Structure 1
Amino acid sequence: MSNIVNEVVEEYIRNNIKRYDGILKEMESYAEENHVPIVQPEVAKFLEVLVKMHKPKRILEVGTAIGYSSIILCKDDDNRQIVTIERRPDRVVEATNYIDKAGLKDRIRIIEGSAEEVLEHVDGQFDMIFLDAAKGQYMNFLELSIDKLKFGGVLISDNVLYKGMIAADEYVVRRKKTIVKRMRTYIDYINKKDELTTCVIPIGDGVAISYKG
């Protein structure tokens, strides 16, 4: 159980989601078999609905993994461009292969490197930013990217409830205390920052959506 919602509710939601086929289904199987973290089914569908509504033309993603969420964010608009950052060379290779296979290599640009080092060199403005990388570094990622988010843009932060540990000390694993402390600081910050309007949604491992304006 995730400690985010009742597992019966979670199971009901997932059983009623229209699942992906083709390359995305292949990626889901690969991720499960190889223990690669990708967005959970209800979060994937949330992202798909959100981009259909918001219609962003440029998206910045921190945390590519194998490119699963990059493809979801990109697939409904032939003119959308994504810049995505991944620090692990092996994941960059895997993501590149899947993105090529999906026919999106001209629209999804992968930058290899640590986000803390790469973000300050990323040019241009973005309509959406998706944070899905090291949970203990979200404040750093935000500080380096918030000025790149346009007014009227949307910030999505995944895994912000972290198996319920962020919400309740009784769930906190001792070795995760630092991550929990930093994520609580991050959530407090995006909820109180004047230029952001934020809502934390208890789906997947917790998702925060923030509107800049």
Structure 2
Amino acid sequence: MVKTYSKNANRNMRRPVVKEEVVRFMREHQAQNTGFLKKLEDFAQSENIPIIPPETSAYFRLLMQVLQPKKILEIGTAIGFSALLMAENAPSAGITTIDRNPEMIALAKDNFANYDSRRQIRLIEGEASDILAELDETYDFVFMDSAKSKYIVFLPAVLEHLAVGGLVVLDDVFQGGDVTKPIEDIHRSQRAIYRGLQKLFDATLTNPDLTASLLPIGDGLLMIRKNTKEARLPD
């Protein structure tokens, strides 16, 4: 039994932000995960481990096949599902994924050993802020699926490591729709997430150095393209 994610974990990211019947249609009519990816998907659901939902998986399959990135950075490995999904659909990519949770790291290592057939994935253990400061590579695709309040903290360093024209995708940015509410209506335990996401939107959505778009897939994706070498967030 996986102990990391309790039944009292943040439920917002499990609340899709479009009509229930539309979500059901997307989940039932798009191509399904098969093989080991289906096995990992079922395991995550049974153990209450948050991974990208089926509609986001379908979108990532398309995104990887179209972009065919060569170097991918992921912040937030969990059990390794999304890294393996990206590896399957971008077979020439080298993927670096970062996580600090010992229980997730152990599960991810087993999954990579069993299913990363081309040995595309490198797992780095530790705090993302520390690791980002030490990385010396440039990436053309970054996926962030970690602590939502830390997105705005990690993003400046991520942009430094992102190639011009590269893409950053940040998951679960709508928090079940709570980001649209006044902070007084947000449970106190969730306000740090709310504030962090509002700062993220303020820093990116109209930033002239970036092209940003919000997508209502799953619990919301924020997609950011780096337009200039000097791209930065406002102070």
- Which residue number in structure 1 is paired with residue 30 of structure 2? 17
The 3 A distance-change label for structure 1 pair 65 and 3 is closer
Alignment of 1:1-213 (within 5 A): 2=15, 4-104=17-117, 106-169=119-182, 172-213=186-227
Compute the RMSD of aligned alpha carbons.
1.6
Q: CA deviation at 1:104?
A: 3.8
Gapped runs of 5+ residues in structure 2? 1-13, 228-235
Name the aligned partner's letter for residue 46 of structure 1.
Y
- In structure 2, do the counterparts of structure 1 residues 3 and 91 end up closer, same or farther at CA, with 3 Å as the change threshold? closer
- Superposed CA deviations along residues 34-76 of structure 1, whole A, max 9, x for unmatched, are 1111011111111111111111100000000000000111112
User: 1:171/1:97 Cα in 2 relative to 1: closer, same or farther (>3 Å)?
Assistant: farther
Partner Cα distance (1:175, 1:156) in 2: 25
Cα offsets for 1:140-198 (capped at 9, x unmatched): 11012111000010010100111111122386333211210110110221112222101
TM-score normalised per structure 1: 0.95
Which residue of 1 is the match for residue 5 of structure 2? none
Contact map agreement 1:160 1:187 (CA 8 A) in 2 = no
How many pairs align? Answer: 213
Structure 1 spans left out of the alignment, 5+ residues: none
- Which deviates further from its counterpart, 197-206 or 76-85? 76-85
1:79, 1:10 → 2: CA distance? 32
Return 114-123 or 167-176, whichever deviates more: 167-176
Pair 1:191–1:53, CA change in 2 (3 A): same
CA distance in 2 between partners of 1:128 and 1:93 (Å): 25
Q: Per-residue displacement from partner, 1:107-134 (whole Å, max 9, x unpaired)?
A: 1000011111111112210010111000
Matched residue of 1:49: which SS?
helix
* TM-aligned CA distance change 1:42 to 1:162, over 3 Å: same
SS at match of 1:109: strand
Structure 1 runs of 4+ aligned residues shifted over 6 Å read none
Percent of counterpart pairs with the same letter?
31
Task: Give yes or no for contact 1:14–1:42 (8 Å, CA) kept in 2.
Answer: yes
SS in 1 for 2:169: strand
Q: Which amino acid aligns with 1:128?
A: F
8 A Cα contact 1:197 1:211, kept in partner: yes
Q: Aligned with 1:166: secondary structure?
A: helix
Once the two structures are superposed, what CA deviation does each residue of 1:191-212 show, in whole Å capped at 9, x if it has no partner?
A: 1222210110011010011111
Q: CA deviation at 1:3?
A: 5.6
Give the TM-score taking structure 2 as reference length.
0.86
